[in-house]
Every structure is written in C-alpha cells, then in structure tokens.
A and B are shown apart, each in its own frame.
Chain A
Amino acid sequence: MKILAMLVIVISSITIAQPQTFRSMSTSGLILDDLDRWFSGMLFTQPVPDRLLEVEGIRVYTGLSNLSTGADLVFDENADTRGSFLLGGSYVPLEASFGLGILAEFMDERFFDQITLLGPGGAPYLSGEGMVEGTWSEYIDTNGDGTLDSRHTVHETAEARTDSSMISAGLFGAYEMNESLRFGLGVSYMTISTEILDEDDNGSIAIADSNLVTGAETYTLNSNGNGLFKDDRTALGISLSGTGAATDVMDIGGMFMFTSISSDIAYNAELSGIEDFLPGQSGVYDYATWSGSEQYSVSPGGNRFGGGLNMAFRLDENWVLEASGGYYTTSLSGSSDQYSISMDSSFIETIASLIDSTIIDMNGSGSTDIDISDDLIAIGAKLTLDPSERFTISMGMGFSMIDLSNTVHNASSNILVETYSDGDAQFADPDDYVSTATWSQTDETTTTENIKRISIPVGLEFEVLPKVQVRLGASPAFVWEMETETTSLIDASPLVTHVVYGDGTEDQIVESPFETIDGTLVETDDNYTEIPYSYGVGYTPNDYIQIDLMGLGDSLNQWRLSATLSF
C-alpha cells in the first residue's frame, strides 16, 4: 500500500513538465525566448498557441537545444548521457496568417539497482547490478576425524531494475483572422510507463546439504519469488487561445485548456518454497511448503482544466506593461477493491506411524480509494523597457498559490486459519485444533500542501559585444509554505484468535493490549524570503543559430549549453 502513496505524487505531476529556454531561465522568467512565448504561455501555466504568429520564420529545436531538462552538462565527458531527447520547432512564413508548432519528447531508459549477495558467515561475496547469480559451498569436518564429511551449498539469484519510457507530443497551430484578432489551437499527448522489479520480490535461493561419504542429501531448501509493479499513465489535452487588439496600444488575450488523465497501476507478486529435512527419503516427511501472492490494481483518472487572461499595454515605443492571470484545477480519483493477499503453508512431519500436520491458510482483501486535487492560481504584471536593441530590462510582481491535496483511504481485512492434527485419529483429541484469527483495519491519510508566493522579479539582457548578450535575473520573493499530513484510524479490530480443540473445548484470545494509533498530524508552517539569482550568455554567430549558455564558472564541466536553429 505504500506504493499508492507514491502514486499521488506521480499522477499530479503528469502534465506539469514544460521545457523552458535558457533565456527565460537566466532572466528570472521575465524575458521570454521564442519557444517560451507560445509553449509556456502565460506565467508558465499552459501553451498559448496563437502566439506562434509572434515567431516569424523557422525554429528548430533538437538535442542541441538541451530543453528536456536543461541540465545536461555538454562539456563534462563524465556526465551521464542518458535522458530524453526533444525534437520540435515552429514555422511561420513571412507575412503569413498562420503558424505551426510541434514539440515531441522521447525517453527510454533502464536503471539497475545495486544488489549484494551474502556468502559464508554473512559476508558479502557478490555485488552487482541487474541480475546476479552465485553459488558458494562450505565443507565441514563434522566429527573432527580429519576428513571433510558434509557439504553445504547455496545457489542464489536476485534481480532488480526499473524500466521507464515516456513519449510526449504536441501539435499547435495559429491563425490570424485579421490584423487585430488571432486564434490558436493545440493538442498534446503524453504517455509514461514504468516497470519496477524489486530485489525483495525477484530472486531465488536453493540450499542443498549432503553427506560427502555416501552422497546422500541431508537437507534442501528451494524458494523463489517474482513481482512486478507497473504504472502506465496517459494524458490527452487540448489548448485554445486567442488574442485581440482592444485598442491601438492594448492587446487582450484569453486561453483555455482541458486535459484528460488516465492511469493503470498494478502490482503482482508471488512467492513459493519448500524446505525438506529428509530429501530423497520416500514415505517419510519433515518438510514445509509455502506459497503466497499479493495483487492489487487501481486505475485513477480525472482531468485538469483551466484558463487565463492576458493584457499587454504599450505605454510608448519602449515601454510595455503586461498583466496576466491564470488558473487551473486538477481532480483525480480512483477506487480499487482488487487488493488481495494470500499465503498457504504446510508443515508435515512423520512421527513413527503418524503424520503430524499443520496447515495454514491466510487470506486478506482490501480496497483503496484515492482522491487528488491540484489547484493553481497565478497573477502577475511586468513592465518591460527596451530603450535600445542592445538592452532590455523587465521588472514585475507576481502572486501565485498552489494548493495540493491527496487522500488515500485504505481498508483491509484478514483471516488466518491454522489446522493442526497429530495424525493419531483419536476421537475428541484435545491435541488437534483449528485456530481462526481475524483482524482488520481501515485508515485514511490526507496530505495537503499550500504554497503562496509573492515575487518581485527583475531581469535584464544587454549586448556586451556584437552578437553577444549577457543576461541577469533575480527573483526576490516572500514565500508561505504549509504542509500537513494527517492520518486517521477509521476502524480497527484487534487480532482475535478463536481456537476449537478436538475435544470440543474452545479458547478465544484477543490481542491485549490492543494498541491503536488513532490519528497523527504532522504540520510544517514555514515563512521565508528567497533571492534566487540567475545569469547566462547568448551568442548569435549568424542568422541561423542561437547559442545560449548557463552555469558559467571556473569549471567548463559545469557549463550548460543550448543551441537553437533558426531560418
């Protein structure tokens, strides 16, 4: 069930990731580059496709653009080269009334966990990634006669890895109705798949002890398990936007978006084993067997929708005042009653002519309900001054509030039946018994996060050399953060064991003391100020390429580079 708690985090993030250019990153998001204008839109909340018409010509975004994460260290030869790659661009013919934009991102990767196997005396003897397998033996002179007479051999395997893949694609178009009105439409699709093989679930162990003199096996144990966690998520969205000229100096724009989100989460694990103290001895038993499984599946789904308004007011030739407001709300929910766990085991032992047996049958079932909400509201204004082509400065003020909430409601009930017989067929045998144990619990965990931020960013860009721009940005902000995690015990029953012996006597044992965690609250309420600085350099060697740099410092290894082709 812990996995379900993780779910709420990953679901809520499915539509948030958006590439951001180096230009806007190094100017605190105030001075936007071409891609930011139409893809990140107002306050970075959603695409505004009609703004494609503001980017004339052709832009091509490739792996050189370093847009997928912005964190690739291209000059560090030791850096991990894995990651997604992004491909896209925009096209607006000169003097045309339409524009097109496309952006796609692909990612496929496999991570291996480090696995260590323990050898004689519990000391590690094998460590590796992916799938590991090893065999070791221990030879013993059990009777001290100077010759080795028993062998203990262990063969063990283990496997652990995580496979992830992601495909996202968006197609956007813009059309200019007339000089004072334009519209844009975009559709986007994203699918993310994750498969996790956990070391605790996937492995086997085989132990064989033998007599070196006669070759007879004296003990065997075989146990193996496998388990797979799968998480498939899909988001399909549309975005609409339009901008019109309200006056000669003022444009007003609006936008709307809707995204449908679906997901399938499933976990399946199985375990089985047998331990035999009398291997190869027919008709006599001293062994234990066990098998078990655990499954659950849940398919949370929902949608996100929202919109916003934008106003740009040209104060004069060099001054532009821009004000924006955006809002979206996300609601996801899912229910599952497919959680189940079972474990069957038996212990069989021959005692002279009798067969002593203990059979254990455990079954559990449960349900999980998930509700997630994610709301954001952002408003802001910025004043941009372009006194010359070589200098741009922008100052703004913004307010944003993010309100996250998720609730996971778990219910489970379990029953364990243990049947013991000493095998003597005695009437009303007080030694035989059937024990039935039951217990159940229903609990709920609610996590909330509320972040309010008032920021006063400032960013500037100036040309220090021909075709070389230096960018600086700072975004001082007041931040109020509150996080809470509340757990509540809705219902619980203690472990109650009812035993009926063969002679009819009954015994009932209730877990005592029955201790419950009735509820907990963890809360952080933090107020702070922050002043994140950013800087970067832009270089346009010719009309066809723009190079942007960030992370500039003493070490070239830390430099980050983005190159955009334009025609």
Chain B
Amino acid sequence: MLLLLLGCAQDNPFKADPEVQWEGGNAHPHIDIAGTESNGPGSFQFSDLDPGTAGIQDAVVLSFDKEIDPSTVTAASFEMVETEPGTGAVQFESISYYPEDGTAVLVGTFSDNTAYLLTVTAGSILDLGGNELDPNYNALYDGSPWDDRLIAFYCGSAEMRDITPPSVTGAFPNTGGGTNLLPHPRVFFTNGPMDVSQLTLDKFTLVRTSDSASVELELSFATGTEINVVPTSELSYGTRYTARLSAQLADSAGNYLDTNNDGLVWPNEPDVVWDFQYEDDSSTHATPPTLSEATLMPGNTSVHIEFEESLTGDDVVMDDATFIAANIQVTDDNGSIPIVFETGADPSAVNCLLQRYAEGTVTLFISCMVADEYGNLFDGNNNGLGGTPGEDDWLGVL
C-alpha cells in the first residue's frame, strides 16, 4: 500500500536525494582572467565603446575559476583609483555578476591618457562555499595586502602601474673553491627597479657558517637591479660563509620581493640565503668529499663505492663511522635492501654487502651526512659545498 501511494505521488518511489553542498568545495577561488570589454580578455586597455557620450565608456571584465556568491560582488569589493596623472578614486556605474559564465562586469567612464589600478579587496568576494579569493595561491586567506588582487589598466598613452613583484635572478659567489679573499657578495634583481633606499646593510648579513660569527661589511653599491657589498677585511681560506638578504624589500612601485622566483609573494616569503667557501691552504682541510665511482658488483651481491675530494679530485680518507645504514641505502624492485658495510685497505672506499639478492633496477642513495676524516660532509653535487640535505644527497641507478 505504501508503495502504491508513493507510486501515485511520483514516478520514482524511492527517496534518493544526493544533492549535497559539495559544489563549492573548499578550494579558494581565483580571478583567472581579467580584461576590458572593448579589447577582450588579457587586454588592460580601455577604449571608448560609446563615442557619443563624454569620456571613455568601457568596462572591466573579471572571470572567476569557481562559482562566486553574487551577493559579494558589490561596489564595496572593488577600489579603482587613477595612478597617472591623477590619484583620485573612480566610481563604477554598474557592477554585475553573471553566474552562467562566472564573470563580473564593472562598467565605468574613464579618462583618456590615464592609468588606473583596480584593487579587489582581500576577503571581500567569496565563492559559494564561503572561501575568500587567494590571489597569491598559498591556499590560505592572508588578508590585505597579501590577498589583495591588483590589476592595472590604462587609456591612450598612459603608462600602466607596475604591479609585478621584483624577483631574484642570482646571488654570488655561491660555490666552493673560492680564492678571492675580498669578494663582493651580491644579489641581482629583475622586474624592479628596486627601492634603493631599502637596500641597506641592515638587510644584508654575512656570517662564518661554522659559528655564525658576523663579518663586517660595507655597502659597495646599490642600484635598482643589484645590491653589492664587500667585507671590511679579508676572509679566510678553508672557511665557509653564509650570506643572507632579507625578503622584506620592495621595488619602487611598492611591490614586495619574490625571493623564490615563483611570481607570487607570501607573507612568509623566505630570505635569500646562500653559502660560499674558500679553497684550503696548507693549514686547512675543509674541502668536502664527493663521489668518485659506484659499482654494482657481479652477482648483484654488493656495491662498491669510492670517494674523492670535491673539485680537486684528490684522494680522501673517509670516516668509516659514517658508513651506516642511515647514510647509504640500496633499493631494488622489492624495496630497501639491508646492508652490511665492509671497509678494507682503501680508506676512500666502502663495500656494501647486500643481505638479499638484488632484483630489477638497483638504486644507490648516499646521504650528505657521509663525512671524511676531518668531518667534512659529502658534496653530492660536486660544487665544493657539502652537507646540504637534498642538494648534496646523491642518488643514481647502478
């Protein structure tokens, strides 16, 4: 009877209702395309769509990658200001959101030969799931200014406001084997020019790596594309130094420095940090070891590894105590292979006796924590600087 009644009520007697609110998901929305109505997506030039009316009649078109809550697309979410030649605010005549294609259209009247900066205020626009825009793509809502979305426009011959963050193109010197005891540690920038007034010695430090002892510096020069310093006294042979440039820098337009060169600026953008090292003299032994040769021996029962001094290729005496399973691993198609380490007459070599038969692809991993007799850590990339996890690990198929 129940089924009969349900059958009269609707074709399907079952109560399936899988419509839940997952459409918005929990990923942050982004403005993936911006442009003008007159010139299309990707163009930031306003052109007059209505010559019969005074001023440049055009609109900003923003395209979102997720469905947006239309109630959040209001005048309060946008701030448009003139950046050249004036500085005043511009009011949009209408703001509309079209859910069918996920675009917002901001209609306004603009002036010829004028540049504008549109700021989509952080936290103002939400998607259907209540998530804020995340312009810096760190999957977090950071607030202003980090999650303000800036877009520059222009009319006529006006120059658009620079909104591209400056980034680092290189930091030098950055290898071992150095010989100039009065080097010029320096960082090069692009997408600037940098605000030179911020390129000061309080943003640049140099320390001896082993004990963090500070090295006194002088500012050699600072330009929109480079900061260049020099120690006040000679550095030492056989010594490693660590240089650091603060990330808290901006270019002349106020854009924060993008230190990892990913085109985005996060609140926790890391400082620019790098090392360099001097070659040994007769009194020092700081040059790290590197890999000379690794061989899977016939029968697949052992791996023979030989080490040499980095950069020079000289003989080294390795520290046997660092030949442990935590520092040297061998894997095959079945996973990791237990190893018994065997050292012999050659102080620069070790035999890794495989405790089970290796099958398929055999891969050797050498950790940067392998050391020579002086404690110099392994230099896996053979640049004269050892001991950096990841960079100085070595792996290869035997």
Interface size class of B (residues with CB under 8 A): 35 or more
Does A351 have its Cβ within 8 Å of any Cβ on chain B?
A: yes
Determine which of A286, A498, A521 lies in contact with B25 in the assembled complex, contact meaning CB atoms within 8 Å: A498
CB pair B28–A286 under 8 Å, yes or no, is no
B292 an interface residue at 8 Å Cβ cutoff? no
A519 touches B14 (CB 8 A): yes
Question: Known: A351-B395, A503-B262, A508-B25. Is A286-B389 also a contact (CB below 8 A)?
Answer: no
Partner pick for A424 among B3, B22, B390, CB 8 A cutoff: B390
- A505 contacts B139, CB within 8 Å? yes
Residues of chain A lying within 8 A (CB to CB) of residue B15: 444, 488-490, 519
Choose the segment among A56-64, A192-200, A211-219, A554-562 that binds chain B (4+ C-beta atoms closer than 8 Å): A211-219
B390 with A518: CB separation less than 8 A: no
Nearest B residue (CB) for A280: B338
Binds B, one of A116-124, A425-433, A460-468: A425-433
With A286-B336, A350-B329, A498-B26 known as contacts, the answer to whether A504 contacts B324 (CB < 8 A) is no
A500 to B134, CA, bound (A): 13
Residues 479-496 of chain A: 1 if any B CB is under 8 Å from the residue's CB, otherwise 0? 000001010111111101
* Chain B residues near A507 (CB-CB < 8 A): 27
- A interface size (C-beta, 8 A): 60
Interface residue? A150 (CB, 8 A): yes
In angstroms, Cα B137 to Cα A211, docked, is 51
Assess whether A506 is in contact with B27, with CB atoms less than 8 Å apart: yes
A143 located at the interface, meaning its Cβ lies under 8 Å from any Cβ of chain B in the complex: yes
- In the complex, chain A residues whose CB is within 8 Å of the CB of B360: none
Contact present for B14 and A426 (CB under 8 Å): no
Mark the stretch among B97-105, B236-244, B303-311, B365-373 that contacts chain A: B365-373
Given contacts A281-B338, A283-B325, A353-B390, contact A493 B355 (CB under 8 A): no
User: Are the CB atoms of A504 and B138 closer together than 8 Å?
Assistant: yes
- Interface core residue of B13, B26, B136 (most chain A CB under 10 Å): B26
A277 touches B336 (CB 8 A): yes
Whether A498 pairs with B27 at a CB distance below 8 angstroms is yes
A528 at the B interface (CB under 8 A)? no
State whether B393 touches A354 (Cβ < 8 A): yes
**Which residues of chain B from 380 to 395 have a CB within 8 Å of any chain A CB?**
380, 389-390, 392-395
Kindly provide the distance from the CB of B324 to the nearest chain A CB, expressed in whole angstroms: 6
Contacts of A510 in B (CB 8 A): 22, 25
Measured between C-beta atoms, what is the minimum distance from B334 to chain A in Å? Answer: 8
Most A C-beta atoms less than 10 A away, residue of B300, B326, B337 = B326
Please state if B338 and A500 are interface contacts (CB–CB under 8 Å): no
Query: Which of A284, A424, A444 meets B326, CB within 8 Å?
Result: A284
Cα A209 to Cα B389 with chains together (Å): 32
A142-B357, A354-B390, A488-B15 known; A286+B335 contact, CB < 8 A? yes
What residues on A are CB-neighbors of B365 within 8 Å?
350-352
Which chain A residues border B203 with CB–CB below 8 Å? Answer: none
**Residues of chain B within 8 A of A500, CB atoms compared:** 139
How distant is the Cα of A184 from the Cα of B183 in the complex, in angstroms? Answer: 113
Cβ contacts under 8 Å, B140 to chain A? 504
A509 CB, nearest partner CB in chain B, Å? 10
Judge whether A353 and B22 touch: CB under 8 Å.
no
* Set B338, B394, B395: member contacting A218, Cβ < 8 A: B338
Asked if A247 lies at the interface with its beta carbon under 8 angstroms from chain B, I say no
Question: Within the assembled complex, what's the spacing in Å between the Cα atoms of A440 and B324?
Answer: 48
Question: Does B16 sit within 8 A of A, measured CB to CB?
Answer: yes
Q: Is B60 an interface residue (CB 8 A)?
A: no
- Give A92 Cβ to nearest chain B Cβ, in Å: 49
Which chain A residues border B337 with CB–CB below 8 Å? 218
Q: State in angstroms the CA–CA spacing of A505 and B262 once bound together.
A: 12
Q: B319: shortest Cβ distance to chain A, in Å? A: 15
Among B13, B14, B301, B395, contact of A143 (Cβ-Cβ < 8 Å): B301
**Neighbouring B residues of A488 by C-beta, 8 Å:** 14-16
Assess whether A518 is in contact with B16, with CB atoms less than 8 Å apart: yes
Q: Mark B7-18, 1 if CB is under 8 A from A, else 0.
A: 000001111111
Q: A424-B390, A486-B3 are in contact. List 7 more A-B contacts (CB 8 A).
A: A284-B325, A352-B366, A352-B393, A427-B260, A496-B25, A504-B266, A518-B14
Nearest 5 pairs of A and B residues by beta carbon: A519-B14, A518-B16, A283-B326, A352-B393, A504-B138
11 cross-chain CB contacts under 8 A = A218-B337, A278-B336, A283-B324, A283-B325, A351-B329, A490-B17, A491-B18, A491-B20, A498-B26, A498-B27, A504-B139
